[in-house]
Amino acid sequence: MTYTQIENTIIERAKLNCSNVDKQSPAVILLTEGDDPRMVKAAQLITSASIGRVVLLFKDKIQTGLSDITSISVFKNELKEKFALDYLAARQGKGETLDQVIKLMNNPLFFGAMYLKHGLVDVSVSGAANTTADVFRAGAKCLGTASGIKTASSFFLMILPDGRALTYADCALLPYPNSEELADIAISAAMNHQKLTSEIPRVAMLSFSTKGSANHEKVNLVREAFEIVKKREPNLVIDAELQFDAAFVPEVHARKSPNSPIKGDANVFVFPNLDAGNIAYKITERIGKAKAIGPLLQGLAKPWMDLSRGCSVEDIIMTAAVATLLK
C-alpha cells in the first residue's frame, strides 16, 4: 500500500484508537458490502495491519476462510426484527409499516446502519457497490444527525504535493445550502479537520466577493452563515466573505483583507454551493496534483462513510482509518 505521509499518520493513529465497543481493543469497523471482492481484500489487509477489527456484512451467503474477521449475513438474521422495531419507533408518523421496514432491513445498507446505531461496531464504510445517494439515505434515516448539527454534508481531505492538508466542504452532497445549512457545514468541517490533522482549523467561507467588494444575494447568504457560526462557535478562527486567493495567498490577503483573522493561511474552505465545491476539488486534484480523500460524510450521529464505486482497495482502507478518527 502506497500512502502519503499524512495518510500513514492517520493509519498509525487509527491503530492506537481504541474501540467504544471494547476499550482495550482497536476500533471495530463494519464493511457493509462483503459481496464485493474489494471489500473482502480490504478487510483482510485492515486486519493484518492491525488498523482495526472488521465485521464484514454479506447479503446472503457468508464467505468462509476469512481469518480473524467476523462475517455476518443479513439473510435470516435474528436482529432484523429488533432493528425494524427500533427504526419504526424513531420514525413515528412517517407512514411505514412493520412489514415494510422488515423488508427494508434486508438491504445491507439499512441493516448496517442499524448495526452501527446499536453500538455493535464503532464505524461503517459503504459505497463500493452502492451510490452516494443510497448510502446517505440509509445513514440519514437510521442514524440521524449529530448533537448540535441539523445538516448532514460531506467533505474532502485534500493532500497537496507539498504535504499540506486542506479540508474542502461541501463537495458532494448539498447542491444549494441555505445559511443555516452552510453554518453546519463550516462547523462540522472545522471539527473534522482538527480530528484528522491535529491542526487548529482556520476556516474560510468562500464567495466571489471579498469583504464587500460585491453585493449580491448569494454573497449575503455567506455573510449570514458566518454570523450564525460566530454565535454558535465564538472561539473558532473563521472569516467570510473571502475569495479563494484572499484566503490562501498571504500577499493577496494583505491587499484584500488585511484585518481578517485568516491571513492567507486557511486550511478549511467552505464553498457556497455544490457547483463551486465539486469543481474546486476536481481542479485541485487534477491540475494541482493533490490527493483527494473522500467524499467523507459528516454531520451524522455516527461515522457512516461513503466511497466512490470506482474505489480501490487502498481507498477502502484509508476511509476506514479516517472513520475511526472521527468517532
Task: For 31-45, write each residue's pLDDT tens digit.
Answer: 999 999 999 999 999
Task: For 252-301, write each residue's pLDDT tens digit.
Answer: 999 998 999 999 999 999 999 999 999 999 999 999 999 999 899 999 99
| For residues 89-108, average pLDDT | 86
pLDDT at 213: 66
Which pLDDT band, with edges at 50, 70 and 90, does 98 fall under? confident
pLDDT at 214: 63
Give the distance, in angstroms, between the CA of residue 139 and the centroid of all CA atoms in the same chain.
Answer: 11
Q: Which residues pair with 293 in a beta bridge?
A: 157
pLDDT at 211: 81
Same fold across 1-144+300-327 and 150-298: yes
Q: Quickly count: other Cβ atoms within 10 Å of residue 139's Cβ.
A: 29
Task: Spell out the domain ranges in the chain.
Answer: 1-144+300-327, 150-298
- The domain defined by 150-298 carries CATH number 3.40.50.10750: yes
Taking alpha carbons only, the member of 279, 14, 9, 48 closest to residue 125 is 14
Residue with cell 461515522: 303
Give just the sign of the alpha carbon dihedral 194, 196, 202, 207.
negative
Task: For 152-206, write each residue's pLDDT tens digit.
Answer: 999 999 999 999 999 999 999 999 999 999 999 999 999 999 999 999 999 999 9
Topology adopted by domain 1-144+300-327: Rossmann fold (3.40.50)
Nine cell digits for residue 78 = 435474528
